Amino acid sequence: EAQVTQNPRYLITVTGKKLTVTCSQNMNHEYMSWYRQDPGLGLRQIYYSMNVEVTDKGDVPEGYKVSRKEKRNFPLILESPSPNQTSLYFCASNGLGGGKSGTDTQYFGPGTRLTVL
């Protein structure tokens, strides 16, 4: 079954304690993205990747890091989480052409609800 998986699904942590949210897709997609969803703001893109070792900032990258060492995985790293990073996070993947050509839409993971105290 084609899917995007994220772990953990729920996480409560404290300010400053480094954490990683994992994301994996089994569709051999070149493109992957991370989003945060906040009430009244829709989804905002944090980082995206167009292939292995190719990443770029989205709309709200501050306080986040990503890496793409393998095609299927795209972890999101919060080096020093703060309360304003409390949010619902989604990972997504899409096929070649991504936002410029082709017809692939994004496939979203189930989401990770993060609370930073």
The binding site for another protein (CB under 8 A) comprises 31, 33, 35, 40-45, 48-50, 56, 58-59, 90, 92, 94, 98-100, 103-111
CB of 42 to another protein, least distance (A): 4
SS3 of 84, please?
helix
Cβ closest to another protein, residue 19 vs residue 43: 43
Cβ closest to another protein, residue 14 vs residue 41: 41
Contact yes or no for 114/85 (Cβ under 8 A): yes
Cβ closest to another protein, residue 19 vs residue 60: 60
Evaluate the CA torsion angle 43, 107, 56, 71 in order and state its sign: positive
Beta strands 112-116 and 10-13, pairing class: parallel
Cβ closest to another protein, residue 17 vs residue 101: 101
Contact yes or no for 34/20 (Cβ under 8 A): no
CB of 87 to another protein, least distance (A): 14
Contact yes or no for 28/82 (Cβ under 8 A): no
CB of 33 to another protein, least distance (A): 7
